[in-house]
Amino acid sequence: MNATPVSEELIVLGKITSVHGVRGEVKVYSFTDPIDNLLDYRRWTLRRDSETRQVEVSGGRLQGKVLVAKLKGLDDREEARTLAGFDICVPRGELPGLSEGEYYWYQLEGLKVIDQAGQLLGRIDHLLETGSNDVMVVKPFPGSLDDRERLLPYTEQCVLSVDLEAGEMRVDWDADF
């Protein structure tokens, strides 16, 4: 593992949460769907605060609902423990292409959210994964209708259109809700 700075834009796809076993494997929380897609990326950039490390994945598996990964050259449990809390990142260019109307979360974050009446509800701060559907956390900013944070479902019924070039999303949502 080396601490090489990376100039490409990195996208966070998971997080190392703890160690697994005594051979230096790590438990991973994956943001990919399905969660083991994270193992398709053989090189990860680990990032925590200002620290960055490059690692190579030598193997991994699903164990129940947990992803367990083996990193090349990491065979010690205590050394693996020091990686807990690192975000797992890959260069944006390595992400697979999407079909028309599909978006990565990072593309939606920062979009202005406008209701059918043309009212600016806020900007998408981040998204949450829930059991039934993803949820957009829309936070106010100068120029917003009010100072309320809103949680909107990321569903076909709510999201009417997404215009990445204009930086906005149109929604069917009552501003009073």
**What single string gives the DSSP state of each residue in 146-172?**
SS--EEEE-STTTEEEEETTTTEEEE-
In a domain, 97, yes or no: no
Q: Are 111 and 162 in contact (CB under 8 A)?
A: yes
Instruction: Give the pLDDT band (50/70/90) at residue 3.
Output: very low
Pair of tokens at residue 3: 């601490």
pLDDT in tens, 92-145: 999 999 999 999 999 999 999 999 999 999 999 999 988 789 999 999 999 999
Has residue 27 got a pLDDT over 90? yes
Residue at 177 is within a domain: no
Domain count, the chain: 2
86 and 16 housed in the same domain: yes
pLDDT-based confidence at residue 1 (cuts at 50, 70, 90): very low
